[in-house]
Structure 1
């Protein structure tokens, strides 16, 4: 089960891009249900996600590079590329901000996600000052939806 909140970011705090990051490329074989292929650095995955905004089922299966290369060519819509920075949440031993800075077609778009162990933890979360609008419940910034934009 994936439980996460998502925020639109309009300004980065000092030092945000000094943290470790992953280079991500992903495409969608289906958006209902969500079936995604992703390259994260030198790792490759096929992911299924159920419907939902705050909570949804998620299953990741490893792929080989050859399988990924074959499947990404079958993706519908736009291929998304982004740099994902991993930033520890202040005053938390277990939470991490995943700051996505998009490239190519969506250059300039920045989103932050925080994953939680429980729905209660997600609902009680107080976002850092530099977070913008909470877009968790709009669905507008789900990557699968971005891939389908004209």
Structure 2
């Protein structure tokens, strides 16, 4: 089960580039249900996600590089590329996954925080640098971005 909240970011945390990051490329084979292929650095996998905004089922299956390259060529819509910075939440076990998009969506910045329970997610007080909570709107779900013709959400 994936339980996460997502936030639109206007002004990033100063010095965020000093934190570790992953280079991510991903494409969607289907958006209902969500079936995604992702390259994260040198790791490749296929992900299934059920419907939902705050909480939903998620399953990750490992892929070889060759299988990923075959499947990414079959992805519909936009291939998303981004750097995901891993920023610890001071005083907690939580980590902010700060996505800085590249390519077609360059300039888009989103932050996600994953939680162990829905109660923990609902009690979370975001840092001051976080912008609007877009968890329940669905407008910034990566599967939705994959289908947009332009940058309507920037």
Q: What's the TM-score once normalised by structure 2's chain length?
A: 0.96
Runs of 4+ in 1 over 3 A off after TM superposition: none
Helix, strand or coil for the counterpart of 1:59?
Answer: strand
Does residue 10 (structure 1) correspond to residue 15 (structure 2)? The answer is no
What's 1:21 paired with? 21
Indicate the SS of the match to 2:86. Answer: strand
Q: How many angstroms apart in 2 are the aligned matches of 1:17 and 1:97?
A: 13
Q: Please, which runs of 5 or more residues in structure 1 have no aligned partner?
A: none
How do residues 51-90 of structure 1 correspond to structure 2 at under 5 angstroms?
A: 51-90=51-90
Pairwise CA distance, 1:12:
1.1
1:96-124 per-position Cα deviation (integer Å, ceiling 9, x unaligned): 00000000000000000000000000000
Alpha-carbon offset, residue 14 of structure 1: 1.4
Structure 2 residues without counterparts, runs of 5 or longer: 150-154
**How far does residue 68 in structure 1 lie from its aligned partner after superposition?**
0.1
CA RMSD of aligned residues (A): 0.4
In 2, Cα distance between the equivalents of 1:13 and 1:2?
Answer: 25
TM-score, normalising length: structure 1? 0.99
- The count of aligned residue pairs is 149
